Every structure is written in structure tokens, then in C-alpha cells.
Amino acid sequence: MPELYNKILLKEEKISVIGLGYVGMPIAIAFGKKADVIGFDINKEKVGLYRSGIDPTNEVGNEAIRETTVEFTHDEAKIKEAKFHIVAVPTPINADKTPNLLPVENASRLVGRNLTKGSIVVYESTVYPGVTEDICIPILEKESGLVCGKDFKVGYSPERINPGDKVNTLENIVKIVSGMDDESLEEIAEVYKLVIKAGVHKANSIKVAEAAKVVENSQRDINIAFMNELAMVFDRMNIDTKDVIEAMNTKWNALGFYPGLVGGHCIGVDPYYFVYEAEKLGYHSQIILSGRKINDDMGDFVSDAIIKKLIHANKVVKQAKVLILGLTFKENTPDTRNSKVIDIIENLKEYGIDPIVVDPEADKQEVRSIYGIELSELSTVKDVDCIVLTVAHKAFKELDLNQLDSLFTNCKNEEKVIIDVKSMLDKEIVTEKGYLYWRL
């Protein structure tokens, strides 16, 4: 039995999780059921919420936070008490679409300052192949004064958490694990097996594990881009995209992808990490970058559709009152990072439209500070000219057509515009009642 794993099992050694966001916090909670865990984050306010039994991410819920044995802290000295460290900080992109490694570099410095002999550091943050060994290990060595391979070991295990998904949870998704050598790989694999019911996949190297993460999200990005391109073409052909997809999906090997806004911190970001490293090696991406451009432009396509429908409804565009239902990057999560709904809002503002935005899942204060948008309550909305359904939150899916109709100004149905980005409504019923309806 691997030595460190055995000590963790006997609670003679602790696990630390650095970064308590949508990825780190569920990991900390899961391990907290099996081991002594220190949950660290530099955000004092976030740590305070966890200590108060509040889950701002809605990933595990307040009850799980209240019941956990995890020690939440913003005191980095507490990290010294642990021997198995999991780094789960975000890895965003810069304005020029290049990787922003500052969070993972700073986390490495923090861990390095508090690293002790015999420790293992596992990175979960999404990076391009080579970052763990070429960038993170030197930082750990410099800050700790220790030698990697002799005094401590390093591994990589890419996060696969799907925010808002209550079925495909951390425990139910196979975990890719890797280590710098056979010994560290076995230790890391056994530790993760404590919480991963679906089991682990041992990658041949750290670089293979790093590549697997960026590639699996790039693959999904490209497939959605294909559907988005079809949607743009079918729109010109006056063909309903969803009707085509439903017909196509009757074949056994159809992939089941749909068009949509591709945002968030994974699919909308990870392909740029892969492309960045490929270009450093002299290869210019053709398929991946093309897919990214299509998906990044979908906000423009949807906002153009809104403007066209307002004109068809004989509305004065500049005076039109537009309601947007949903701001988060996906349904049933408060996460607004890299939300492409923002692109729609910004484009509408260029036409003089300042839309009303409603999202019961998003954090009002966070939205205000990041985007400068004041979220409204649906109960206060009335007399709109256009409703844009952008995010399929449960609360929005439960709205029937009569409830949506009550939000419109008093006019004929053919002057009421409904833009259904997520195809939440029954097209036949909506069009039969005469609404000006458009769906992606």
C-alpha cells in the first residue's frame, strides 16, 4: 500500500485543496468525507461564506457545507500541515486570447512557500502540455528550497467537473491521473480512488494528462461550432435547425450536438491553451481556431436576429424594450465567467437598446462588479417588446406562454418578438398563436 495514501487513510497526514471555486470546493468536500482536509482560498469573503455554511457556487449545497469536516481557511500557513496538495485555481485567457498562467503561478509560489519534505503536489488547473513540469515545478523548487523528485513529487489530474450537473458529478466521472514517476502515480491514483467511484485512468505521463484535458474540450468546441455554422446557413435558407437535427439524430451514430452560446471557463477557453503551445512549436491551428471564431461570433449572430425581428415587428429599434432571460454561461449555475450573453447585450447597446436582464441564479453583486449590469426581478418587468430566452434555467423552463405573454406591451401577437436561443418553447404553439418567433 502506498505510504502517503496509507497515512491519509489513517488521518496521520492531511490533504490541502488550494482554490475553493466550482472545482476545488466539491473536491474538498468529497475528500472531507474520507480524510482530514484543509480548504484554502485567498478570497476571505468566500472562505467566510463557507465557514457560515453557505455554498455560493450551488455545486454541493449549503447542507453539505454545514456538515463537512473541511477546515476552510485563508491562512496559507495552514497548508504546511498537509502532505498531499491539490491545486485547483482557474486558468483564464488574456484579452489577446493567450493563456493567463498568473493564477497557477501564484498558487505554485504559495504552495512552495509552505511545502515540506515528503509532499505530493497535484495540479488540476487546465494548462497546455508542459506547464506542470516546465513552469510549476521550478517555482515550487525555488520557493521551497526543496528538490523535486527527491524531496517532493508532482502530478497532474485534470478537473472534469461539469458545473450545474447533478448527475455527472465528481464521484461519477472517471478521473485521469498522472505522476512524475511510478511511485507518485500510484500514490495519486490511490488517493483519488478514495472519492472517485467511477475509477481512475492512469495516463502515461503528465503531458499526456495535460493534453487530454485541453483536447476533450477542444473536440466539444469544434462539434458545437459545426452546429453553429449550420444554424447560420439554415437561417439564410429559412430552414429550422432544430428540425434538421432531430431528423439527423434518428441515425445511430449521430453525435447529438446542438448550436448555442459557448462560454464558461472550459470549452470557451481551453482550445486557446492548446493552440498557443502548438503555435510556439511552429504549427498554426486550422480547425480549432476556426471553430473558436465561429463560437465567439455567435453573440453577434443572435443580436442581429433580435434586431431583424424587431424591425419585422415594426418597432423603433432604439426605443425597443428588450428582456433577456439568463446571464450565466450555462443553465442552473450562478457562474457568469466568460458568458457569451454579454456579447448580445453589448451588441444591442450599440443600437441604443439597454436591455433588462433577469437571472435568478446569478449573484447580483458579482454581476454588478464584473459587468456593470443591474439584474432585475422578473416580477417587476412589464411592457416589453422582445423576450430573449438565453439560458435554460429551471425557473425559465417552467414559465408557460401565458406568463411570458403577460410581460409584453399591449399589442397584437405578431408585434411581440420571442428569441429562443435554447429552443425551450414549443415552436408550433408559439407560431400558431402568431408571435414573431425565432430560435437558434
Of the residues 136, 148, 266, 386, which is catalytic?
266
Q: How far apart are CA 425 and CA 438, in angstroms?
A: 10
Q: How far apart are CA 11 and CA 181, in angstroms?
A: 25
Report DSSP state, residue 354: -
Residue type, position 55, single letter: D
The pLDDT tens digits of the residues spanning 297-307 come to 999 999 999 99
pLDDT classification of 94: cutoffs 50, 70, 90:
confident
Residue 326: name the closest of 232, 192, 424 by CA: 424
Whether residue 1 is predicted with pLDDT greater than 70 in this model: the reply is no
Task: Please state, for a pLDDT cut of 70, what percent of the chain lies above it.
Answer: 99
Residue 261: name the closest of 148, 382, 420, 87 by CA: 420
Q: How far apart are CA 121 and CA 154, in angstroms?
A: 5
Whether residue 95 is predicted with pLDDT greater than 90 in this model: the reply is no
The pLDDT tens digits of the residues spanning 388-420 come to 999 999 999 999 999 999 999 999 999 999 999
The pLDDT tens digits of the residues spanning 5-60 come to 999 999 999 999 999 998 999 999 999 999 999 999 999 999 999 999 999 888 88
User: Cell 473541511 identifies what position?
Assistant: 70
Residue type, position 315, single letter: K
8 Å CB contact between 162 and 131: no
pLDDT score of 421: 96
Task: Please state, for a pLDDT cut of 90, what percent of the chain lies above it.
Answer: 83
Residue 101: name the closest of 111, 112, 89 by CA: 89
8 Å CB contact between 202 and 178: yes
pLDDT score of 60: 86
CATH node for 3-203: 3.40.50.720
DSSP 410-422: SS-GGG-EEEETT
Whether residue 265 is predicted with pLDDT greater than 90 in this model: the reply is no
Task: Tell whether the torsion through CA atoms of 375, 417, 437 and 402 is positive or negative.
Answer: positive
DSSP 266-304: TTTTHHHHHHHHHHHTT---SHHHHHHHHHHTHHHHHHH
Report DSSP state, residue 176: E
| Nine cell digits for residue 413 | 401577437
What residues contact 231, with CB distance under 8 A and at least 6 apart?
A: 241, 259, 301, 440
User: Cell 488550494 identifies what position?
Assistant: 18
One fold for both 3-203 and 225-439?
yes
Helices (H) and strands (E) in the chain, counts: 18, 13
Whether residue 2 is predicted with pLDDT greater than 90 in this model: the reply is no
Torsion of Cα atoms, 212 then 213 then 217 then 222, to 10° = -30
Instruction: State in words which class domain 225-439 has.
Output: alpha beta
How many Cβ atoms are within 10 Å of 233's Cβ, its own excluded? 11
pLDDT score of 161: 77
8 Å CB contact between 212 and 203: yes
What residues contact 374, with CB distance under 8 A and at least 6 apart?
A: 357, 364, 368
The pLDDT tens digits of the residues spanning 104-152 come to 999 999 999 999 999 999 999 999 999 999 999 999 999 999 999 999 9
| Nine cell digits for residue 5 | 495514501
Q: Among 240-244, 333-337, 390-394, name the one with the lowest average pLDDT.
A: 333-337
8 Å CB contact between 301 and 227: no
β-partners of residue 358 are 325
148 is catalytic: no
Domain boundaries, the chain: 3-203, 225-439
The pLDDT tens digits of the residues spanning 309-320 come to 999 999 999 999
Q: What is the mean pLDDT of residues 328-339?
A: 90
Torsion of Cα atoms, 416 then 419 then 425 then 429, to 10° = 40
Q: What is the mean pLDDT of residues 65-85?
A: 96
